[in-house]
């Protein structure tokens, strides 16, 4: 089956059994309906021409603008997609990523593709709020630092950042605050992430604190906020896409970076090329992409998606489905303890008596992972895994074990991490919240023993 397509953040192609199917399968079964779904009225303006937003999304899929697109017969699949298994894969990304949304682009990585100890760039999830900037010029790209709590306003070119300040490299875990949202019931609004909105590449750049100290920050500095060069979905350059930030204490940590490289290469375009912030252990929305301005604030930053219920959870536990007032919501800071089984792929089949190696990663927003356990009896008993130390603070840690099963049948392997403060993953979904943030329930995979 080919890659599932969701256009405009809506599930467009479904079978009678509500099973999502891809474009090739739909064209085989009902080409007229498939053409209407792909090229229908929702993609055209009043004159019948394809809308610019749709052409942009299609251009990403094709790897370039579709010249004469308005002359293209809607009954056909573009030839550039017609003979591929994954017609709407993302440029520079592994074809196995699951695309949740094409506008803005959001895609997650299945657990078995996250088995690398250092996440490759093509396997790092994509969480964008606006449209990727175009015509990036490294020679003219600048970063400006200013704000009411900055002693001065300074602008740096990329070359100046690289030459003036000491370069640092850290492996840092980035995870979307909504990772695991699809498990919440009642359902929560937003991208329905499963478990793959996380990764841990190495990042190279300069420490944010070194740049802030060069500018000079006042004693009343409370927060920093960022601004990127991505474009609002409306196309209006005056509208903010997202502008979040972190307290000054987080900004001044050694591992808080202004980064230009991932795994020794330029950051992938979809992940923030040519410059971005990286704050390991906090929601990835704090780590602004396509960075061109940082403001030093004397109050909690009030940019786009800092207010209301964005990236906030109830300050006190609430009942599932409860309505929570904005004043009763608190900003998410450090991410909770979590783990992910990356080998084997769920659904694996082995023979009775065969030993099964398992492995994965565990992480937490502050501190370190102390222990990881696995269970094959749905959490009734737990056995320890071997656990490696992190390569540096805020990097995930790798665990492994060898598992034996007592008889033939269906099993689930569950993983549970415990951090240095004694906080453990819950076996099932943790406290409900309106936006479906911070799901750190135990990850599990299916195993069949024959």
Model confidence pLDDT, tens digit, residues 185-202: 999 989 999 999 999 999
Tokens of 325: 């007032």
Q: How far apart are CA 450 and CA 438, in angstroms?
A: 37
Half-sphere exposure of 323 (CA within 13 A, CB side): 1
Residue range 285-310, pLDDT digits in tens: 999 999 999 999 999 999 999 999 99
Per-residue pLDDT tens for 138-150? 999 999 999 999 9
d(CA 185, CA 190): 13
Residue 371 CB coordination number (10 Å) = 17
List % helix, strand, coil for the chain (3-state, nearest 5).
15, 30, 55
Nearest alpha-carbon partner for 62 in 94, 43, 84, 88: 88
**Interatomic CA distance for residues 39 and 324, integer angstroms:** 40
Q: What's residue 212's pLDDT?
A: 98
The closest of 438, 198, 172 to 340, measured between CA atoms, is 198
pTM, rounded to two decimals: 0.82
**Closest by CA position to 134, among listed 70, 64, 69, 78:** 64
- The confidence score (pLDDT) of residue 79 equals 61
Span 326-381, pLDDT tens digits? 999 999 999 999 999 999 999 999 999 999 999 999 999 999 999 999 999 999 99
- DSSP H helices in 49-166: 52-62, 79-82, 158-164
> Vertex 361, ends 356 and 362: CA angle to 5°?
125
Tokens standing for 37?
């779904």
Intra-chain end-to-end CA distance of the chain, in Å: 26
Share the mean pLDDT of the chain.
88
Structural domains present in the chain: 6-127 (no CATH), 142-331 (3.90.420.10), 338-449 (2.60.40.650)
pLDDT 10s digits, 109-122: 999 999 999 999 99
- Of 342, 339, 341, 349, nearest to 418 by C-alpha is 339
Lookup: tokens for 208? 């944010």
- Which one, of 361, 405, 410, lies nearest residue 383 by Cα? 405
**Is residue 55 predicted with pLDDT exceeding 70?**
no
Separation CA 224–CA 287 (nearest Å): 11
């Amino acid at each position: 089956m080919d890659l599932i397509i969701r256009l405009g953040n809506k599930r467009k192609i479904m079978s009678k059994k509500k099973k999502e199917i891809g474009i090739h399968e739909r064209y085989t079964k009902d080409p007229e309906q498939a053409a209407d779904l792909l090229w229908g009225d929702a993609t055209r303006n009043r004159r019948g021409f394809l809308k610019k937003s749709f052409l942009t999304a299609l251009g990403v899929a094709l790897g370039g603008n579709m010249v004469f697109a308005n002359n293209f017969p809607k009954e056909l699949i573009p030839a550039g997609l017609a003979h591929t298994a994954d017609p709407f894969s993302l440029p520079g990304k592994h074809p196995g990523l699951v695309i949740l949304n094409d506008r803005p682009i959001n895609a997650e990585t299945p657990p078995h593709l996250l088995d690398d100890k250092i996440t490759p760039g093509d396997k790092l999830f994509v969480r964008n709020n606006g449209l990727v900037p175009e015509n990036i010029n490294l020679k003219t790209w600048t970063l400006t630092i200013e704000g009411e709590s900055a002693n001065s306003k300074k602008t740096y070119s990329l070359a100046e950042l690289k030459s003036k300040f000491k370069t640092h490299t850290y492996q840092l875990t980035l995870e979307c605050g909504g990772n695991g949202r699809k498990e919440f019931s009642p359902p929560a609004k937003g991208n329905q992430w499963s478990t793959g909105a996380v990764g841990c590449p190495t990042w190279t750049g300069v420490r944010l604190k070194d740049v802030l100290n060069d500018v000079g920050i006042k004693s009343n500095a409370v927060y920093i906020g960022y601004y990127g060069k991505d474009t609002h979905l409306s196309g209006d350059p005056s509208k903010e896409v997202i502008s979040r930030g972190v307290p000054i204490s987080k900004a001044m940590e050694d591992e808080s970076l202004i980064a230009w490289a991932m795994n020794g290469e330029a950051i992938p375009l979809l992940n923030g090329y040519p410059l971005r912030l990286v704050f390991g252990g906090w929601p990835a929305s704090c780590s602004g992409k396509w960075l061109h301005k940082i403001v030093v604030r004397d109050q909690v930053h009030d940019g786009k998606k800092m207010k209301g219920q964005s990236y906030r959870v109830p300050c006190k536990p609430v009942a599932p489905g409860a309505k929570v007032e904005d004043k009763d919501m608190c900003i998410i800071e450090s991410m909770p303890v979590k783990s992910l089984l990356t080998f084997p792929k769920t659904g694996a089949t082995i023979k009775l008596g065969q030993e099964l190696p398992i492995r994965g990663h565990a992480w937490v927003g502050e501190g370190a992972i102390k222990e990881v356990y696995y269970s094959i009896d749905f959490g009734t008993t737990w056995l320890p895994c071997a656990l490696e130390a992190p390569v540096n603070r805020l990097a995930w840690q790798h665990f492994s074990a060898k598992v034996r099963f007592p008889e033939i049948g269906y099993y689930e392997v569950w993983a549970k991490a415990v951090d240095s403060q004694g906080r453990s993953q819950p076996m099932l979904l943790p406290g409900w919240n309106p936006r479906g943030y911070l799901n750190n329930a135990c990850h599990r995979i299916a195993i069949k023993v024959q």
